[in-house]
Amino acid sequence: MSYTELCAEVVNGNESKVIELTKSLLEAGYDPLEIMNKGLIAGMDIVGPRFKNGEMFVPEVLLSARALHSGINIVKEALVGTDIPCIGKIVLGTVKSDLHDIGKNLVGMMMESAGFKVIDLGVDVPEETFIEAVKEHKPDILALSALLTTTMPNMKSVIDALKENGLRDKVKVIIGGAPVSQNFADEIGADGYAPEAASAAALCKQLIAE
């Protein structure tokens, strides 16, 4: 039982083995964050380049993603305390035409661990849905994820829609995802950018303290 074994089973897309190993590591007292980073996400770091190089294909990547999700859900229960007071509200989603949600889910989990209430709208979320959610939930922060260069412009469309609906000054907007950068955030008028999940939660804390 090790992080390497867990990592290998994520790559293999072996969901039942990932569940079993994740539970065993937790029961043995391993740190949940390390299980996530050195076991689960490390597996996806191997899958990424293999997918890119044509050594793995969509069905296999989906199996890995499903196995990863199951592992993450188990770690999440260990990480997210039920008695953490709510320090703010965040609406989170992956923008229109983008189906990637592994990173977004991790970001949501870190936000919850930091004490935020997170309303996750899922993937492929159109501008109108973000606008409706901002009107309904009145969040402190709207958090947008994108993994494709082709869907990055949809982040700007959400910010434009906020302006058109007179909501831009009512909510801070943060963005993230592999192709996104601080420069892009500045360019589209977002309030912040975070490169990964833990810093996204830290950024939200910083923004609500301003």
> Is residue 118 close enough to count as binding ligand B1M by CB under 6 A?
no
Token pair of 36, please? 């996530």
From 74, 99, 193, select the one nearest 151 (Cα to Cα).
99
Query: Which CB, 133 or 175, lies closer to ligand B1M?
Result: 175
Q: Is the distance from CB of 92 to CB of 121 less than 8 angstroms?
A: yes
Beta bridge partners of 125: 95
CB burial string 69-98: b at 16+ within 10 A, e below: bbbbebbbebbbeeeeeeebbbbbbbbbeb
> Is residue 97 close enough to count as binding ligand B1M by CB under 6 A?
yes
> Is residue 104 close enough to count as binding ligand B1M by CB under 6 A?
yes
> Is residue 172 close enough to count as binding ligand B1M by CB under 6 A?
no
Query: Minimum distance from CB of 199 to ligand B1M (Å)?
Result: 7
> Tokens 């793995």 correspond to what residue?
56
> Is residue 175 close enough to count as binding ligand B1M by CB under 6 A?
yes
Query: Minimum distance from CB of 42 to ligand B1M (Å)?
Result: 10
State the binding string over 131-170 for ligand B1M (x if CB under 6 A, else -): ------------xxx-xxxx--------------------
Q: How far apart are CA 207 and CA 187, in angstroms?
A: 19
Query: Minimum distance from CB of 128 to ligand B1M (Å)?
Result: 19
What Rg value do the Cα atoms of the chain yield, rounded?
17
> Is residue 120 close enough to count as binding ligand B1M by CB under 6 A?
no
Element at 65 (helix H, strand E): helix 58-79
> Is residue 202 close enough to count as binding ligand B1M by CB under 6 A?
no
Q: Which window, 20-28, 45-53, 112-120, 157-165, contacts ligand B1M (CB under 6 A)?
A: 45-53
